[in-house]
Amino acid sequence: MDKGYTASITGVGSFLPEKVLTNDDFTRMLDTSDEWITKRTGIKERRVVENGATASDLAIEASLRALDDANILPSEIDLIVAATITPDCLVPSTACFVQEKIGAKNAGAFDLLAACSGFVYALSIARSFIASGAMKTVLIVGTECLSKITDYTDRSTCILFGDGAGAVVVQRGNGKKEIVTTYLGSDGSQADLLKLPAGGSKLPASQATIESRSHYIQLKGKELFKTAINNMVDMITKAATDNNMQVEDFDMIIPHQSNIRIIEAAMERLKQPKKKAYINIDRYGNTSAASIPIAIDEIDKGELLNPGDSVLLVAFGGGLTWGTSLIKW
Ligand code: ACO
């Protein structure tokens, strides 16, 4: 990509709903066990919204925290991108609800659908607008209420997902948390591996779609699992090559939190220590587009990195979609 201005993450925030759904809670609903879920996924608990809360409610809280962290006013935002597969509704966009609630009166706003890769896609868009000089301040938020599209009678799927939101402010480079490169990929021929069949123009909501439970997320876990490991290994290797680095040179890898076995298997194949990959899946499960920005916020607030560290974001999700971003902390 042509380089104009550099782009930096200047503010970070996240928000998790209070209600905790533990593995033990599932044992009261389904034929499962804490041992199976922990061993097969690394997940111990996840958060879920209550009282009708929506993706925009979570996004607003995370966004306000990110704005506060960046020390900017809502009126300074040029664009809001909400990455989500659980928008409040299809029209208007969740980004527009965020725009109104935070008072971003000078911002454009739209939603981006790239499943678990949504945040990395949005970061690439933000960087491009900043680099071209077209915009000075972009707010991106990954926000998901996956509990609303989860089939709690499907034990192999429902144990994976949780709700949450993470937001970042992207502005012209200030020498910190610079978005050095981004890379995006997709393969629509594997669309069948993860889908929510009903509710769109192909299969509008009807009594039949409700009866067939087609308005819930469906995944082919085994196939996705293998593809996810291969993809993660390939993407990390490619990111190193594209940036004239060795995989060893990444000080930290922030992967989408899909399954601890996927992440650990990829680290093993790359001959990297497991602890190089940041993990919080034990506490939040898979929060799709929210998982990477929630992790960034924890790492930032916990001061787990040093200025100048090389950090690789790596995401993979439904579509299929995937992407990486190298951040110079
Ligand atoms: N409790 C107990 N047993 C279970 C459960 C459960 N919750 N779920 C499934 N099982 C059983 C199955 O019925 C099966 O039993 P059987 O052998 O008698 O048939 C056995 O456990 C093994 O099932 P598998 O599906 O083979 O289990 P696997 O080890 O593959 O784990 C899982 C399933 C966790 C879904 C895994 O495949 C996975 O994580 N897949 C990848 C998910 C992913 O890539 N996500 C990223 C994209 S997500 C996004 O974009 C939103």
All structural domains of the chain with their residue ranges: 7-176, 180-328
Superfamily of domain 7-176, CATH level 4: Thiolase/Chalcone synthase (3.40.47.10)
Tens of pLDDT, residues 199-218: 999 999 999 999 999 999 99
User: For the domain 180-328, what is the CATH code?
Assistant: 3.40.47.10
The DSSP code for 276 is G
pLDDT band at 291 (very low <50, low <70, confident <90, very high): very high
- Round to whole Å and give the CA distance between 289 and 144: 7
Share of the chain above pLDDT 70, in %: 99
Atom number in ligand 1 closest to CA 146: 51
Q: Give me the helices (H) in the chain, please.
A: 23-27, 34-41, 55-70, 94-102, 118-132, 155-158, 207-211, 221-242, 260-269, 281-284, 291-301
On average, the pLDDT of the chain sits at: 97
The residue contributing the CA closest to ligand 1 atom 27 is 222
Question: Parallel, antiparallel, or unpaired for β 45-47 and 310-317?
Answer: unpaired
- Round to whole Å and give the CA distance between 232 and 280: 18
Tens of pLDDT, residues 80-113: 999 999 999 999 999 999 999 999 999 999 999 9
- Round to whole Å and give the CA distance between 269 and 264: 9
The pick from 40, 148, 190, 264 for probing ligand 1's pocket by mutation, whose C-beta has the most ligand atoms within 8 angstroms, reads 40
Asked if 7-176 and 180-328 have one fold, the answer is yes
The DSSP code for 202 is S
Q: For residue 2, is pLDDT > 60?
A: no
Which residues have any ligand 1 atom within 6 Å of their CB? Answer: 32, 36-37, 40-41, 115-116, 155-156, 159, 194, 221-222, 224-225, 228, 258-259, 286, 288, 317-318
Share of the chain above pLDDT 90, in %: 98
Closest by CA position to 297, among listed 14, 108, 10: 14
Per-residue confidence (pLDDT) for residue 42, from 0 to 100: 98
Active site residues: 116, 256, 286
